[in-house]
Amino acid sequence: MPEMSHCAENLPSRLLPALDLTRALERIPIRWNSDRRSSFLFGRIFCDEPVSTSSENACFLFGRIFCDEPVSTSSENALGPRSHKTSAMPFTEARDLGFGITIRHHATIAEINERAWNRLFPDTAEDWGYFRGIELSGSTQFEFSAVAAYDGDRLIAAAPVFKLDYRLDMTLPPAMQKFGDWLARYAPRLVKVPLLGLGSPMTEECPIGFDRSLDAGGRKAVLNALIASLQAHAKANGIKILAFKDVTDSDAQWAGASLSAGGFAAMPSLPLATLDLPYEGFEDYLASLPGKQRTDIRKKMRQASGIEIELRDNVDDVYEEILTLYRATRENRKKSYDGFDEVPEDYFREVMSKSGGKARVLLARLGGKLVSFNFFLVEKDRVIGKFVGMDYEVARAHNLYFFNWMTIVKFCIDNGVATLQTGQTTYTVKVRLGCKLKRSWVYVKYNGAILGPLVRRLAPRISFAEADPDLAQLGDKAVYLSQAGAVQ
């Protein structure tokens, strides 16, 4: 694998037009515009083996093992400076929930020390800075906060939290969606209810970080304390629905029992599309695709002739153009998920400013005009695709989606990045391009003596996945990964 420093220091400074597939992507026309070095790409070590119950050298991120330096017990683990930002929800503190643990609800992640938080989420791009950027992005749909567990003044677990008015009809099949829209218009109280969720609408996996000092039993005890505290917090604020958003199959193996015991039921969420890239070069990736598809891709790439691209970690000078392109893409979506469709207009700016160089954007121009952008996060072994925006008149004529895809794939291979995480949309295209799907779950609970048991019984029969038109079109052609990562 090439050294990660190639990512920034060895990128060519010139812009070249895209000719045919091989020439264009072997001589990728990237200009690197940055005042930061790429040292953030080093140091992330993780494995996807089952969680050890005896390891003393691992920091746990909700079931995935991350290696890290020893956790300091110094004041870096204490609370950070109090933020002046207030929340619409009163935040409370719950002590000694039967586990000798203090749980604090924070109105903002800014109240938690950045270094202490990142100790629980080592070498990930979706770190303290990412979630702080989300908080500052000006959402009109969500209220963001955080929950944390402390042993004394030492942070031992933490997770982001969100609140929104949730549309209960969001998982209805397309044939019934008009009925749901009618109810939302004329009887909104029957359709929209407050929901308190652990996780983030801006991540595809439920992010809960645990201190390395906790063994399997300790992690479960802390998780139980977080569940109890979340339920008490919801009750105090009159919130009926609780959720753990996008719990992966592997995380459900160890956390599912605690969530079920807490009264939560598992609903199939949208799967996460991922592309493994164990290739020495870009041509090896192409060779892994069917011959007919390779021919089609070469044709599409020839139609991208004249496209110039630029890789950046700052977009202030083109921000309005980026927003225009994203709005066009949002209007072109096949399925609406109401509040979860929102990307606040300051999201790109705030996340890039807080990411320390981990957030990148690929800009594509035709004749000097910006015609697409691709916003993604970079880790040592993973690139997380976030959002794409396109001018659809140009996109269809020049196959910008495929051009963006091939460019990012080549970026990953050239820099030894083993996995491209491509999100929870456009599954038909992504599966054709080699992606496998990872199942995930929304654990949901309705706090009510009458409706609570009913929701728990019905929730497993309701599926976000079944409501997605792309997944319905794929049917048996969708290739899912098992809990251990093997193809099912």
Q: Which residue has the tokens 């702080």?
A: 132
- The most confident of the ranges 22-36, 180-194, 353-367 is 353-367
pLDDT of residue 35: 38
Is the pLDDT at 313 greater than 70? The verdict is: yes
- The most confident of the ranges 163-172, 289-298, 474-483 is 289-298
On whether the CB atoms of residues 404 and 362 are closer than 8 A, the answer is: yes
pLDDT of residue 481: 80
Helices 216-236 & 249-261, crossing angle to 10 degrees? 60
Of 3.50.30.30, 3.30.70.520, 3.40.630.30, 3.40.50.2300, the CATH number of 47-271+439-481 is 3.40.630.30
pLDDT of residue 387: 93
Looking at per-residue pLDDT, the higher value among 32 and 204 belongs to 204
Report CA Rg, the chain.
22
- The answer to which of 98-102, 154-158, 270-274, 436-440 has the lowest mean pLDDT is 98-102
Question: Do 6-41+274-437 and 47-271+439-481 share a fold?
Answer: yes
Bridge partners (DSSP) listed for residue 259: none
pLDDT of residue 189: 58
Is the pLDDT at 356 greater than 70? The verdict is: yes
Bridge partners (DSSP) listed for residue 274: 421, 436
Rounded Cα distance between 29 and 407, Å, is: 9
Is the pLDDT at 56 greater than 60? The verdict is: no
Q: What is the pTM of this model?
A: 0.77
Quote the tokens at residue 154.
């030492």
Helix or strand run (H / E) with residue 442: strand 440-446
Q: Which CATH superfamily is domain 6-41+274-437 in?
A: Gcn5-related N-acetyltransferase (GNAT) (3.40.630.30)
Task: Compute the mean pLDDT over every residue in the chain, rounded to the nearest whole number.
Answer: 77
pLDDT of residue 16: 32
Is the pLDDT at 415 greater than 70? The verdict is: yes
pLDDT of residue 331: 76
pLDDT of residue 487: 55
Averaged pLDDT for residues 108-121: 97
Is the pLDDT at 106 greater than 50? The verdict is: yes
Helix or strand run (H / E) with residue 390: strand 382-390
Q: Among positive and negative, which fits the CA dihedral 332, 334, 339, 340? A: negative
Is the pLDDT at 36 greater than 90? The verdict is: no
Domain-wise residue ranges, the chain: 6-41+274-437, 47-271+439-481
Which residue in 371, 382, 380 sits closest to 326, CA to CA? 371
